[in-house]
Amino acid sequence: MQKASVIAPEAAPRAFAHEGRRRISVLGATGSVGTSTLDLIARHSDAFEVEVVTAQKNAAALAELALRHGAHLAVIGDEQAYAELRARLAGSGIEAAAGATALIEAASRPVDCVMAAIVGAAGLRPTFAAARAARRVALANKECLVSAGAVFMSAIKASGAELVPVDSEHSAALQAIGGHDPKSIERIVLTASGGPFRTWSDAEIATATPEQAARHPNWSMGPKITVDSATLMNKCLELIEAYHLFPVDADQLAVVVHPQSIVHCLVEFADGSVVAQMANPDMRTPIALSLAWPARMAAPTARLDLIRLGALTFEAPDEKRFPALGLARRTLELGGTAGAVLNAANEVAVEAFLERRIPFPAIAALAGAALEEAARTGQIREPVDLDDVIAADEEGRALARGLLRRYIVS
Ligand code: NAD
Ligand code: MG
């Protein structure tokens, strides 16, 4: 089957062909990516206006963002927080709503761009809604591509929406590929910082705490992706994300550890050329690109000073100490709903680790065990639609919860 991809040189970018300010909805507005997006939009208020902002629980933070950015609608996922949201927006003229259905309706508003920055599989339905209604989906929610892969890419294709990745490595790949013939791509190499435990021994990693996992050396991000970066599950998810976004096979994807997080991705071409994208690690650069693409807009990221940096270093990833990385290969080999199972099991495992119920190495072990259990019991199949993906996500969660007790420390 011909894979859909975001690289389609024959299709000239159609989005934003109109004059006037572009209307943007920010899903997951209170998060790390959400607030960076709103920060950029505020710096370019002549070019953008905010339609919708959403969050899950924090009504105070959501109301504050809605008021500051003049949003038209603010939606809180947690219905218990609705009264507070309404009270805080009273008299502002900003609409308020709550609940899972309201989130989907909000994501379905026809806008120029939806920033899909909800964390985890919780973002699936709203991101699919955005794919149907928006001219462009700026995709931060990598779990959507990992879980729904081909189903999501066909939803994008069917609606004619533009998909622009926000993840820094995939933003970098998009730029490196540029107008080159996709057939001339030999490999896409994602860089990984290596996370806070890059130089730790097995014994040290075995006792790593949530506080230690939270100390990412280069990036400031939400709690879940920060743990994913420590296990290198983040890079595993990103390999799967890259597989779905770009016109390459699984064996054309690789990872190199680059502790400075300056080079974000390298694309190797048939003639031996390697095109890389560099920037200081600040999500406002890839977010700006996702809003302005194929143009560029100013972002306040500190300028790169290679002379001051002096050296960029690269090393091989160690799958023995970081077995999560190898799960990408296995997931792509199994195909179908394997991504949904892996992602769901990882979410269960990360939560259990943050609650101090399982040790750090159990995160990758549990995710891998759930994946193998799903394969062994014949639960992996080709999903036909989003409901099927969500059913597989639930199966993955159930498998992981069932296996969890094996890893629980008393
Ligand atoms: P975060 O935890 O800082 O923010 C998550 C946002 O999602 C919040 O607004 C929260 O209210 C909302 N949310 C949480 N649970 C929800 C639910 N059940 N229903 C609806 N909304 C919910 O996360 P983040 O770091 O901003 O990451 C967001 C997404 O972007 C993730 O998928 C992550 O992998 C991806 N991403 C983040 C970064 C980064 O630098 N932070 C980089 C690349 C990709
Ligand atoms: Mg990334």
pLDDT digits (tens, 9 = 90+) for 39-54: 999 999 999 999 999 9
State yes or no: pLDDT of 30 exceeds 60.
yes
Ligand 1 atom having least distance to the Cα of 57:
11
256: pLDDT confidence band, cut at 50, 70 and 90?
very high
Q: Which amino acid would we find at residue 338?
A: A
Cβ of 142 closer than 6 Å to ligand 1, yes or no, is yes
State yes or no: pLDDT of 410 exceeds 90.
no
Mean pLDDT over 394-401 rounds to 98
For residue 53, the surrounding DSSP H or E stretch is strand 48-55
Could you give the percent of the chain with pLDDT greater than 70? Answer: 97
State yes or no: pLDDT of 2 exceeds 70.
no
CATH 3.40.50.720 in the chain: give the residue spans: 19-141
Mean pLDDT over 259-277 rounds to 98
State yes or no: pLDDT of 10 exceeds 60.
no
pLDDT at residue number 17: 53
Q: Whose CA is nearest to atom 42 of ligand 1?
A: 167
Asked if 27 contacts 126 with a C-beta cutoff of 8 angstroms, the reply is yes
For residue 54, the surrounding DSSP H or E stretch is strand 48-55
State yes or no: pLDDT of 13 exceeds 50.
no
229 C-alpha to ligand 2 centroid (Å): 9
CATH 1.10.1740.10 is the classification of domain 323-406: yes
Mean pLDDT over 157-186 rounds to 97
Cβ of 140 closer than 6 Å to ligand 1, yes or no, is yes
DSSP state of 295: S
133: pLDDT confidence band, cut at 50, 70 and 90?
very high
The per-residue pLDDT for range 109-132, each reduced to its tens digit, is 999 999 999 999 999 999 999 999
Under 8 Å CB-to-CB from 391, ≥6 apart: which residues?
none
DSSP state of 315: B
Could you give the percent of the chain with pLDDT greater than 90? Answer: 93
Cβ of 31 closer than 6 Å to ligand 1, yes or no, is yes
Q: Is 376 helix (H, G, I), strand (E, B) or coil?
A: helix
List strands edge to edge, sheet with 253-257: 253-257, 185-192, 263-269, 274-278
State yes or no: pLDDT of 9 exceeds 50.
no
The per-residue pLDDT for range 287-343, each reduced to its tens digit, is 999 999 999 999 999 999 999 999 999 999 999 999 999 999 999 999 999 999 999
CATH 1.10.1740.10 in the chain: give the residue spans: 323-406
11: pLDDT confidence band, cut at 50, 70 and 90?
very low
Q: Which residue of 119, 285, 390 sits with most ligand 1 atoms within 8 Å of its CB, as the best mutation to test the pocket?
A: 119
CATH of the domain spanning 19-141:
3.40.50.720
Cβ of 233 closer than 6 Å to ligand 1, yes or no, is no
**How many of the other CB atoms lie within 10 Å of CB of 303?**
7
Phi and psi at residue 391, in whole multiples of 5°? Answer: -65, -40
Q: Which of 147, 154, 149, 152 is nearest to 339 (CA)?
A: 147
Cα(254)–Cα(354) distance, rounded to whole angstroms? 29
State yes or no: pLDDT of 5 exceeds 90.
no
Q: Which of 237, 255, 27 is nearest to 149 (CA)?
A: 237
The per-residue pLDDT for range 84-107, each reduced to its tens digit, is 999 999 999 999 999 999 999 999
Cα(250)–Cα(149) distance, rounded to whole angstroms? 13
State yes or no: pLDDT of 250 exceeds 60.
yes
Q: Distances in Å between the alpha carbon of 188 and those of 151, 152, 175, 184, 217? A: 23, 21, 12, 11, 24
Mean pLDDT over 388-410 rounds to 96
Ligand 1 atom having least distance to the Cα of 221:
41
Q: How many residues does the chain have?
A: 410
State yes or no: pLDDT of 58 exceeds 80.
yes
Chain mean pLDDT for the chain = 96
List strands edge to edge, sheet with 113-116: 95-98, 73-76, 48-55, 22-27, 113-116, 136-139, 162-165
Q: Whose CA is nearest to atom 6 of ligand 1?
A: 28
Q: Is 46 helix (H, G, I), strand (E, B) or coil?
A: coil
Cα(170)–Cα(242) distance, rounded to whole angstroms? 7
Cβ of 348 closer than 6 Å to ligand 1, yes or no, is no
82: pLDDT confidence band, cut at 50, 70 and 90?
very high
14: pLDDT confidence band, cut at 50, 70 and 90?
very low
